Amino acid sequence: MPRVGPLVGEFFMNGDTACAEGAISAGCRFFAGYPITPATEVAERMSARLPEIDGIFVQMEDELASMNAILGASWAGVKAMTATSGPGFSLMMENLGLGVMLETPCVLANIQRAGPSTGLPTLVGQGDMMQARWGSHGCYSIIALSPSSPQECYQLTIKAFNLSEKYRLPVLIMSDEIVGHMSEKVVIPPPEDIEIFSRRKPTAVPEEYLPFEPDADLVPPMANAGEGYRFHVTGLTHDERGYPVMTAEAQDRLVRRLVQKIEQNKTDIIDIEEDGIDNAEVVVCSYGISARVSQFAVERARDEGIKVGMLRLVTVWPFPEETIRQISQRVKAFVVPEINYGQIALEVERCAGGAADTILVPNMGGSAHRPETIIDAIRGAVR
Amino acid sequence: MNLKGSDEKHYIDKYLREDRMPHIWCPGCGLGSILHCFLSGLIKTGISMDKVVVVSGIGCTGRVAGYLKLDSFHTTHGRAIPFATGLKLANPKLKVVVFSGDGDLIAIGGNHLIHAARRNIDMTVICVNNFNYGMTGGQLGPTTPLTARTTTSPIGNYERPFNVPYLAAASGAVYVARWTSMHVRRLEQTITEGLLKRGFSFIEVISPCPTVYGRMNRQPTGLDQLRYYRENSVIRHGADPKEVDIDLNGKIVVGKFIDIERPTYSDLLDEVVQKAFEPELPKPDTSKKRATVAGSTPK
Ligand code: SF4
């Protein structure tokens, strides 16, 4: 078999496959995963693609192991990812926390299906959005991106790797079953046109290297295992040396920085798409597949003469608080369609702070919203 | 740690984080001797210390990683092996060692242990078995002998324990040995040998936990436990791992039980890749707008 190498050109592929190709374009050379619908296609693609480009695909015994294996691979200096869905996502929470604590760059794609529990394995859901933010124990910040198309699965996977390397943390791709399984045109640019960011390396000599001493952006440069730095890292609360320190002061210092390195760099991280917000009376705020249905509903409502804007959250976490706050001063209401019983709507409501109404358009999962449901909600909001 | 009355340092000191001393282990605990055996055994291999990575889980033994002046990871409970798997597969030049306890490796991490052994990942696992969960105050573990008392088996254990070497061997480990923390010379030799063995090597070290397990089972000091080891250890190299169960206060069969050859995960992967693909990776053809690849239809 000839080796294919990085792809360039136009392809017809599904979102999961595009996610795998995005990872390869981003320089990912390690994938550890466990089969789960509807994320299996990411693993399948990686199992075919990685061996031919001298990468490693390993199917682990469960999602706990998968998450740990990518953390280990990342510390060996290789860009690494895993992909899963609801039940596996729950299992990965334990070591997502380890990734946050050890400040380990890696990417975790969740192709969401409907829960709770086994739920609807083959059908869409968006019920893990709050779990993405708060799912591991303790206090931390996270980055999560939500693609609405296969093309975006490709691009956001690259972005996820770049952000994870830049800010040293696991970055989540919160896709969903419909986006993961739909096939569309995906354009893959030549490698020289793809912006790639790789972790900052320490400039200190090994004897003076402090593994958790941050630069001005609050991110510490990262040495890889085997490079002679002889560092220690631990999931315990630690100081700049990486040594455990069991005090409230050390905890305060560390956790504040883990949160602030994201909060302080929000403008660099957050990506949102606005359409017709300026003179809107109502704004529909959504993400993933729900944003695509919303866009259709917004256009139909405009046909009826309703002044409605569309706000698509490409970055879901950190939440674009400032944008929502500003818009809430000018509009009557936000309409928030999502395939759950209200998760991101809670955030919108919090940021709107009573200045504008928040109207949730819930959907328990199994299928996307019908556009009429969203159009009705828009009509109701302007009435 | 200067030697008494001299400025001379002990030869393992440079591989310890002296700024982290004193360590947290109890007086009489076996972990100090085992750590010493590990470092002296490691030094004897001649492996470059910059390439050695030690991964620990949680528990008293889990603290080993933090005292070593080597690249070292203190991970989550039970997950040292999959973390180490990622390190090793991503950079095969690393010498990867997992150093953890029986609760960590055999209970919560049991699934990872059997699968890493099955895959024959090239790593060395040192499993310190003190028959209970020391750090949390001496609870029943998967290795606690029948009828032994722990804080969660106050009337005596009625769960059958794992025979750890048998589990490792049955799962596919290519090297399986057991010593107690009293057998310092033999343990050191075994550690050297295990580290130099290609594939999944597994070393169980029976170790005193006087503070909880010993106290609850009529061996209240480290010395009592070492005396028990001395009087009851039976060296039987090549013993059938099936027959090395440990009963409360019973005989402890020690020695090297398994030393076989089997291709590692990476050997088999390389073989398959070589068969499947042509050797050269093409340069991406950027002039070509359209490319084809299995699984996608060019438009
Ligand atoms: S509790 Fe037991 S195993 Fe833990 S340090 Fe003390 S003696 Fe050692």
| Cβ contact B277–A77 (<8 Å) | no
The residue whose C-alpha atom lies closest to atom 8 belonging to ligand 1 is B29
Measured CA to CA, the distance from residue A227 to residue A163 in angstroms comes to 23
Query: Which residues on A lie below 8 Å from B90 (Cβ)?
Result: 29-30, 56, 72-74, 76-78, 80
Contact A176, A7 (CB under 8 A): no
Name the strand (E) or helix (H) holding A254: helix A248-263
Measured CA to CA, the distance from residue B56 to residue B166 in angstroms comes to 22
Q: Is B113 on the interface with A (CB under 8 A)?
A: no
For a substitution probing ligand 1, which of B29, B61, B180, B213 has the most ligand atoms within 8 Å of its CB?
A: B29
Q: Which of B 4-33 lie inside 8 A of A, CB atoms?
A: 17, 19-20
Q: Is B112 on the interface with A (CB under 8 A)?
A: yes
Measured CA to CA, the distance from residue B268 to residue B280 in angstroms comes to 20
Measured CA to CA, the distance from residue A46 to residue A43 in angstroms comes to 5
The residue whose C-alpha atom lies closest to atom 2 belonging to ligand 1 is B209
> Given the CA of residue B207, which atom of ligand 1 is nearest to it?
3
> Given the CA of residue B59, which atom of ligand 1 is nearest to it?
4
| Cβ contact B91–A226 (<8 Å) | yes
Residues with CB under 6 A from ligand 1: B 25-26, 29, 31, 60, 130, 134-135, 209-212
Query: Which residues on B lie below 8 Å from A235 (Cβ)?
Result: 74-76
Is it the case that residue B293 has pLDDT exceeding 50?
no
Measured CA to CA, the distance from residue B97 to residue B101 in angstroms comes to 13
Is it the case that residue B281 has pLDDT exceeding 90?
no
Per-residue pLDDT at B286: 56
Per-residue pLDDT at A55: 97
Q: Per-residue pLDDT tens for B15-33?
A: 999 999 999 999 999 999 9
Q: Which of A 156-175 lie inside 8 A of B, CB atoms?
A: none
Per-residue pLDDT at A81: 98
The angle subtended at Cα B103 by Cα B102 and Cα B107, nearest 5°, is: 105
ipTM summary value: 0.97
Report how far ligand 1's centroid is from the alpha carbon of B29 (Å): 5
Measured CA to CA, the distance from residue A219 to residue A103 in angstroms comes to 9
- pLDDT < 50 positions in chain A: none
Of A67, A58, A46, which Cα lies nearest the Cα of B269? A58
User: Mutual orientation of helices B184-196 and B31-45 as an angle, nearest 10°?
Assistant: 50
Question: How buried is A130 (Cβ within 10 angstroms: 0-12 exposed, 13-18 middle, 19+ buried)?
Answer: middle
Q: Per-residue pLDDT tens for B211-262?
A: 999 999 999 999 999 999 999 999 999 999 999 999 999 999 999 999 999 9
For a substitution probing ligand 1, which of B135, B139, B180 has the most ligand atoms within 8 Å of its CB?
A: B135
Distances (CA, A) of A130 to A225, A243, B29, B117: 33, 32, 44, 37
Report how far ligand 1's centroid is from the alpha carbon of B135 (Å): 6
Per-residue pLDDT at B8: 79
**Residue A145: partners with Cβ closer than 8 Å, 6 or more residues away:** A156, A159, A160, A171, A172, A173, A174, A271, A314, A315, A316
CA Rg value for chain A: 21
Measured CA to CA, the distance from residue A339 to residue A204 in angstroms comes to 48
Is it the case that residue B290 has pLDDT exceeding 80?
no
Query: Which residues on B lie below 8 Å from A75 (Cβ)?
Result: 73, 86-87
Count helices and strands (H / E) in chain A.
Answer: 13, 16
| Cβ contact B82–A58 (<8 Å) | no
Query: Which residues on A lie below 8 Å from B66 (Cβ)?
Result: 232, 234, 243-244
> Average of pLDDT values for B267-292?
75
Contact B121, B264 (CB under 8 A): yes
Q: Per-residue pLDDT tens for B117-159?
A: 999 999 999 999 999 999 999 999 999 999 999 999 999 999 9
Measured CA to CA, the distance from residue A29 to residue A15 in angstroms comes to 19
Local structure of residue A127 (DSSP, 8 states):
T
Token readout for B69 is 């002046």
CA distance to partner chain B, nearest, from residue A94 (Å) = 8
Is it the case that residue B294 has pLDDT exceeding 50?
no
Domains of chain B: 13-294 (3.40.50.970)
Starting at the earlier edge strand, list the strands of the sheet with B252-259.
Answer: A232-234, B71-74, B52-56, B95-101, B123-129, B200-206, B175-180, B252-259, B233-235
Query: Which residues on A lie below 8 Å from B87 (Cβ)?
Result: 72-73, 75-76, 225
Report how far ligand 1's centroid is from the alpha carbon of A328 (Å): 58
| Cβ contact B89–A51 (<8 Å) | no
Domains of chain A: 9-193 (3.40.50.970), 272-382 (3.40.50.920)
B-chain residue closest to A69, CA distance: B86
Q: Which of B45-49, B87-91, B294-298 has the lowest mean pLDDT?
A: B294-298
Assign residue A228 a region (left: φ > 0; alpha: ψ between -120 and 50; beta: otherwise): left
Measured CA to CA, the distance from residue B107 to residue B128 in angstroms comes to 13
Contact B131, B90 (CB under 8 A): no
Q: Per-residue pLDDT tens for A248-268?
A: 999 999 999 999 999 999 999
Token readout for B23 is 């360590």
| Cβ contact A51–B276 (<8 Å) | yes
Per-residue pLDDT at B284: 62
Per-residue pLDDT at B285: 59
Between strands A30-33 and A56-59, the pairing is parallel
Per-residue pLDDT at B298: 36
Neighbours of A327 (CB within 10 A): 24
> Average of pLDDT values for B184-194?
98
Distances (CA, A) of A184 to A12, A19, B296, B298: 5, 13, 11, 11
Measured CA to CA, the distance from residue A316 to residue A318 in angstroms comes to 6
Query: Which residues on B lie below 8 Å from A104 (Cβ)?
Result: none
Q: Is A138 on the interface with B (CB under 8 A)?
A: no
